[in-house]
Amino acid sequence: MRTFQDELREHPEAISRLLDNFDFSVAERIRNFKRVVVSGMGSSYFAGHYAASLASDAGEPLILPFQSDYLIENSGMIDALKGDDTLWVLISQSGRSGEVLQLAEYLDEFWAITNNPDSPLAGRAKEVITLEAGEEERSASKTFVNTLLVWHLIFLGKDGVISLAEVIERFMNSPLYVDSLLESFSGKNFVMWVGDGPFYSIALQASLLSKEVALLPSEAHTLGSFKHGPQEIVQREDVLVVFLDPSQEAKNHLAKLSSFKASFLVMSATEAVSYQAGVFHLVVEIELALDRFATSQGLESGSFVVGKKVTES
């Protein structure tokens, strides 16, 4: 049986496949819309926040990320969001997620991002963007990174990611943060991940993987939402991981954040060969650290006990 570590080793190959096969005409067609509603569940939904951040910085169409179940429960919003100037993009790595397929029933037309071009979601979509991540049985790793990369290619092209596969392979062999993360996790009860902009999606994914891969209770917040209450629960026996961008505003928050009694770690993408590539290597290093921590605790990392890889209903 394939392990989570087996799938992590396949990151460079999966990235190369997507870079080789991506249809860049997609980007031009997306720019014809004034807004893009992006919906999925779990890590597919998290990637929508990355898209929203990139589009905002690039002055591209307004990106609105929603969890699919939220829209279904508030179906009046679906009709309110429809329009000739709106593109719907549904994301499901398997193409079989129950909530995403249910949302598709409300839509006359949508695009799909999926790792399975033969899936029910792909079969209903007007256009399909394939993730090219290859087989994935464990927690989302390659599919999440490649979903981020799809949005990067749409809004930024190959800027900063032409050699991404090589960059990721180098950081997998000589990581910057894995040892520090492992040291921080040791003997701790809880992990708080905090990030703004493109790092918010990474914080969300890190929190999900903390629970799925290593059974570590965890939360993820933007810096603003962290200050509105969640900071009260961070204790000495916890871990606080903060993602910082190169801006001075972010650095100004550092002194206050470092005053928390928890194990404190700052992760920055600026130490990679490019800021763009750095965002991706942070994700992979978190995956590596959680996999090693789970193994040290006698856990089968990335496996599912209560749920399963694909939630169909």
User: Quick one: tokens of 152?
Assistant: 């990067």
Please give the angle made by the CA atoms of 287, 222 and 152, to the nearest 5 degrees: 60
Say if residue 39's pLDDT is above 90: yes
CB 122 within 8 A of CB 128: yes
- 218-247 average pLDDT score: 86
Mean pLDDT rounded to a whole number for the chain: 89
> What is the C-alpha separation between 283 and 303, in angstroms, rounded?
19
> Reading across the β-sheet that carries 263-268, which strands appear in turn?
218-221, 190-194, 238-244, 263-268
Q: What is the pLDDT of residues 56-101, one digit of tens each?
A: 888 888 999 999 999 999 999 999 999 999 999 999 999 999 999 9
> What is the C-alpha separation between 121 and 128, in angstroms, rounded?
9
pTM above 0.85, yes or no: yes
User: Quick one: tokens of 304?
Assistant: 């599912």
- 148-175 average pLDDT score: 92
Q: What SS3 state is found at 245?
A: coil
Output the pLDDT for position 263.
Answer: 83
Say if residue 306's pLDDT is above 60: no
Delineate the domains of the chain, giving CATH numbers in brackets: 4-156 (3.40.50.10490), 164-296 (3.40.50.10490)
Q: Which residue is it, tokens 């695009």?
A: 111
